Structure 1
Amino acid sequence: MNVARALPIRRFDRGGASERAFCQRIARLAVRSLYAELVLYPKPGLVSKIDNGSHADMTAATFMRSLFALRRYFGAIAQAGMDDAPFHVLKQLGIDAEARMLRATYGINTHRGAIFCLGMLCAAIGRCQARNEPLTAQRIGDLLRACWGQALGAHSIDAGAGSHGVDAARRYAASGAREEGAHGFPSVFDVGLLALRRALTAGRGMREARIDALFALMAHISDTNVYHRGGVEGALTVRRQARAFVARGGTGAPDWEARALACHHTFVAARLSPGGAADLLGAVCLVHAVTSG
């Protein structure tokens, strides 16, 4: 399943067929981006079509059911972004999408972080399009912060209990998805997307570029999923291994695949799963699909 090429900038009548078509295409790109993350391999500790990584409670089929349940959400939140909806509207769309995900997966959290991250990006993309602005990474990030940054900041502080990510963030002072969102997802634009584009510029393929982006994210972010499973020592293991992979040249090194597989086996043995980095990789894939020429 290949991610579609960059979206053209179109002028259209508000509320018309062109607007609906645009939102539907954004939804397809979001789902395809999460599918691209799912099928990527080797992907340390994470579920793929090859194996279940560090997870005993979910498989690739679980993720596919989740993706099917989320396909309309991404179009709806892109439309809400076009309409300049306030944050509480976007938040409710995400809450409803999470409920559909949990019904589809029988209570397993496959995409909670992705619902938040890719959802907000879809809203910002919709806002760009409504304002007839260029669909560039810079403008998407700028509008995300300008339109909803203050509310996202408050959201990151007002984090109720009820998720492993929130609990880990409190226990270990890890930043997690909420703080990323409060700052406009800088790791997506300044870390993951940069690594992906650098690999493509060097002549490597999309698979290698996504691997590089994932390891760059693992080396950089404070992943509450990792803290929940492995505590401080687990988080240090993930960061050390990812940084070593990047320092050796990432997928530019001749033995990159063997090194990535060894990292995968290490993470599985320790039950480590960098799910936060995986969610951000899906976001990187989405921004790249929308903005690449």
Structure 2
Amino acid sequence: MTARCAPVAAAPRPRRVPTPQMIGRAATLALHDELALSPKPGLVTLTDRGSHADMDAHTFMRSLFALRGYFVRIAELGHGGAPFEALEQCGIAAEARMLAATGGVNTHRGAIFMLGLLCASAGVLAAQGRSPAPAALREVLTQRWGEALAARALRPPTLPGGLAARRLGLRSASAEAAAGLPTLFDTAMPALRAAQQRGLPPAAARLDTLFAVIATLDDSNLAHRGGLGGLRFAQAAARGFLAAGGAAAPGGMQAAQAIGAAFVQRRLSPGGAADTLAAACWLDRLQPTAP
């Protein structure tokens, strides 16, 4: 009689170390993930301008096309051990390409900064043979560039969001980065993982993540457009949406649409939260597939 073979357990897949090309491509795809999400309060989607009269999905797609090479290039800079000044110059050049592609419209300035830093940090880890796990990314970001980012946060602001943050005593994008992007790692990623573990489909999981970020982030875009009152209104609306059950609740999507209408009426646009959502989508795309 032939002996029956016991099943052999599959070996766990090795943790993947992405190349700079993979890191950069994931950033472009993550920005498209953010654009394609709908409904989003006050933000541009594939079918809606949100609170913006000067941009739509076509503007965003032109910007994404212009930025594809940037995310790969800044990941390569991180991989090669480039100093912070080289990252800054790479970002400045990318911003110029964005503005040329959009006719002067700022579609992705915040993403150029945040996702650029993350791509560079992932490049550093790749050069060390390490995958971009959240804790490792945060460690590289703060240890390698935290001091330079803290110094950058002290510069006099020149852009509307930075001016609003300074005037109202809010944490700027540079200060957020110098602190290790706490809203991304302590709010957005846990919210996304919790939604995924509850079995929510990708769009619903991302929507809950976006609202979790709006509820907590000192979003300088909201502060610029609506003052401190507009920021607090948006945060309270987001907390209410989540407390009612979020996207998975009966009528959750309709509630999100109603909040979006209220944002448009007040010309509110949570651009910083959108950038943070895109960063969470990027990180999610780079995580190794479970065996």
| TM-score calculated relative to the size of structure 2 | 0.92
CA distance in 2, matches of 1:259, 1:24: 39
Consecutive unaligned residues of structure 1, counting only runs of 5 or more, are: 1-5, 11-20
Pairwise CA distance, 1:73 = 0.5
RMSD across aligned positions (CA): 1.5
Structure 1 position 68 matched with structure 2 position 65: yes
Structure 2 letter corresponding to 1:138 = A
Structure 2 letter corresponding to 1:69 = A
Q: 1:245 aligns with which of 234, 241, 249?
A: 241
Structure 2 letter corresponding to 1:118 = L
Percent of residue pairs identical: 47
Structure 1 letter corresponding to 2:16 = I
CA distance in 2, matches of 1:184, 1:90: 17
Pairwise CA distance, 1:255 = 1.7
Partner of 2:36: 39
Pairwise CA distance, 1:106 = 0.7
Q: Deviations over 1:205-231 (max 9, x none)?
A: 111110011000000001110111111
Question: Which of 181-190 and 111-120 deviates more?
Answer: 181-190
Structure 1 position 285 matched with structure 2 position 281: yes
CA distance in 2, matches of 1:229, 1:175: 16
User: Contact 1:216–1:242 at 8 Å: present in 2 too?
Assistant: yes
Structure 1 letter corresponding to 2:94 = A
Structure 2 letter corresponding to 1:231 = G
**Pairing of 1:109-128 with structure 2 (within 5 A):** 109-128=106-125
Partner of 1:9: 16
Count residues with an aligned counterpart: 277
Partner of 1:16: none
Structure 2 letter corresponding to 1:9 = R
Pairwise CA distance, 1:25 = 1.6
Q: 2:80 aligns with which of 78, 83, 93?
A: 83
Pairwise CA distance, 1:150 = 0.9
Pairwise CA distance, 1:249 = 2.1
User: Contact 1:44–1:260 at 8 Å: present in 2 too?
Assistant: yes
CA distance in 1, matches of 2:92, 2:77: 14
User: Contact 1:137–1:291 at 8 Å: present in 2 too?
Assistant: no
CA distance in 2, matches of 1:198, 1:107: 38
What is the DSSP-based 3-state SS (H/G/I as helix, E as strand, rest coil) of the residue aligned with 1:141?
helix
CA distance in 1, matches of 2:14, 2:207: 24
Pairwise CA distance, 1:7 = 9.8
Q: 1:132 aligns with which of 116, 129, 142?
A: 129
User: Contact 1:7–1:290 at 8 Å: present in 2 too?
Assistant: no
Q: 2:47 aligns with which of 42, 47, 50?
A: 50
Q: Which has the larger radius of gyration?
A: 2
Pair 1:134–1:28, CA change in 2 (3 A): closer
Structure 1 position 164 matched with structure 2 position 167: no
User: Contact 1:156–1:181 at 8 Å: present in 2 too?
Assistant: no
Pairwise CA distance, 1:133 = 1.9
Consecutive unaligned residues of structure 2, counting only runs of 5 or more, are: 1-12
Pairwise CA distance, 1:184 = 1.5
Partner of 1:225: 221
Pairwise CA distance, 1:8 = 4.9
Structure 2 letter corresponding to 1:42 = P
